[in-house]
A and B are shown apart, each in its own frame.
Chain A
């Protein structure tokens, strides 16, 4: 058994986590792997997932899939590609450039206030668990705080979400210097995940 190899117990535990995610969110992960690592590596990932009983061929963009599928996908990526936090962060950031989701959300990318105020609605379009809230937005001081509640899947998912939230900020804030930090994490004992986004 290799260092990062996922266990059967882990898979069963993850699949029991309540909640679902849109198929498109999983499909874009596959497409992002293709872009980031290459066609061969993407096929290897698909094959490995298939061996565990998770087929990407059966996923449809708008259909719901168990949220555990997401966590298992990330763990398999870690196993095959030996990715670290930075890679998963980049995965989240790049994947939000692809797929059907940005097209559906494009009307919200009009301004920072619009997208952040609509954040709960947007989150609910793609997740059946968790609640994303805009805790604070200060355009003058150039920062915003998002809170993600009732969403404890896997620490790797936090890195992906961090990357995705940064990408959304990059769509609506015209600045070369935008940063994101997870200031609170449920895996560190906090009651929710909190993300602080700053820009110059």
Chain B
């Protein structure tokens, strides 16, 4: 009996030490966790928060524990619907909301919620994890803005290109017409000039024939003159 009591006492002491270690571990984990976490009871009253929650909201434990969680969000109705969904479907859900800090600053956040149950399976509240998505949202908005601007630029460029294309087409048509007319004009001119050249050639050929005839006649005459000169010379002898 005494041995059993001593054994139980030692076991109890060990259990106490384990509990203290566990409590310390939980405390350290809660303080370390960079994710803002809070616990609510079934009346949606905040009953516990961690260090990251204080950093995000600027509320201290004493200021926010005991307050209804809905005071933290701008979209009260949306939060209520989100909470109803978690409780009804008994699963973890996620939504985007606007957090209102202690200084009334609005912060875009992503909120995840999960049901808490006791050992009997009764609903005893919820856990909420809150992430600041301001930077992400700003990045998203900037990207969308840039995409919009570039789309507008592209559309304007496209419109300008189409306009330029239309103008070019008109110009090309006009120049094509000009060239066609010029080509037609040139053909006529070429024909005329060809005719002229042909006529000149004909004239030259005629003149050439005449010139050659004259030359032949002159050679003949020269030969006759030579012959006559020879005859004259002979006659004088």
| Residues of chain A whose beta carbon lies under 8 Å from any beta carbon of chain B | 32, 35-36, 60-63, 94, 97-98, 100, 102-103, 106-107, 109-111, 167, 170-174
B23 within 8 Å of A by Cβ? yes
Q: Is B43 an interface residue (CB 8 A)?
A: yes
The answer on a CB contact under 8 Å between B41 and A171 is yes
Q: Could you tell me the distance in whole angstroms from the C-beta of A92 to the nearest C-beta in chain B?
A: 13
Q: Are A106 and B62 in touch, CB under 8 angstroms?
A: no
State in angstroms the CA–CA spacing of A53 and B181 once bound together.
Answer: 118
In the bound complex, what is the Cα–Cα distance between A111 and B125 (angstroms)? 10
By the criterion CB–CB under 8 Å, are A98 and B61 in contact? yes
Q: Is the Cβ of B62 less than 8 Å from the Cβ of A109?
A: no
Please give the residue numbers on chain B whose beta carbons come within 8 Å of chain A beta carbons, in ascending order: 16, 19-20, 23, 27, 39, 41-43, 45, 47-48, 60-62, 65-66, 68, 116, 118, 122-125
- 27 cross-chain CB contacts under 8 A: A32-B62, A35-B60, A60-B20, A61-B20, A61-B23, A62-B20, A63-B16, A97-B65, A97-B66, A103-B47, A106-B47, A106-B48, A106-B116, A106-B124, A107-B116, A107-B124, A109-B42, A109-B45, A109-B125, A110-B122, A110-B123, A110-B124, A111-B42, A171-B43, A171-B47, A171-B66, A174-B45
Compute how far the CA of A167 lies from the CA of B122 in the bound complex, rounded to whole angstroms: 23
Question: From B45, which residue of chain A is reached at the shortest CB distance?
Answer: A171
- With A97-B66, A110-B42, A174-B43 known as contacts, the answer to whether A62 contacts B19 (CB < 8 A) is yes
> Complex formed: what's the CA distance from A67 to B61 in Å?
26
Closest B residue to A109 by beta carbon equals B41
Q: Given the complex, which residues of A lie within 8 Å of B122, measured CB to CB? A: 110
Cα–Cα distance between A61 and B125 once the two chains are bound (Å): 24
Given contacts A36-B62, A173-B43, 19 further A-B contacts (CB under 8 A): A32-B62, A35-B62, A60-B20, A62-B23, A94-B62, A97-B62, A98-B61, A98-B62, A102-B48, A106-B41, A106-B125, A107-B118, A109-B41, A109-B45, A109-B47, A109-B124, A110-B41, A171-B66, A174-B45
| B76 CB, nearest partner CB in chain A, Å | 15
Contacts of B19 in A (CB 8 A): 62
CA distance A63 to B20 in the complex (A): 8
Contact indicator B60/A110 (Cβ below 8 Å): no
B62 touching A110, Cβ below 8 Å: no
- State A100–B45 Cα separation when bound (angstroms): 17
Query: Which residues on the A side are within 8 Å of B23 (C-beta)?
Result: 61-62, 100
Q: Contacts A60-B20, A61-B23, A62-B23; is A106 near B61 (CB within 8 Å)?
A: no
Nearest to B62 among chain A residues (CB) is A35
Residues of A within 8 A of B68 (CB): 174
Chain B residues within an 8 Å CB radius of A171: 41, 43, 45, 47, 66
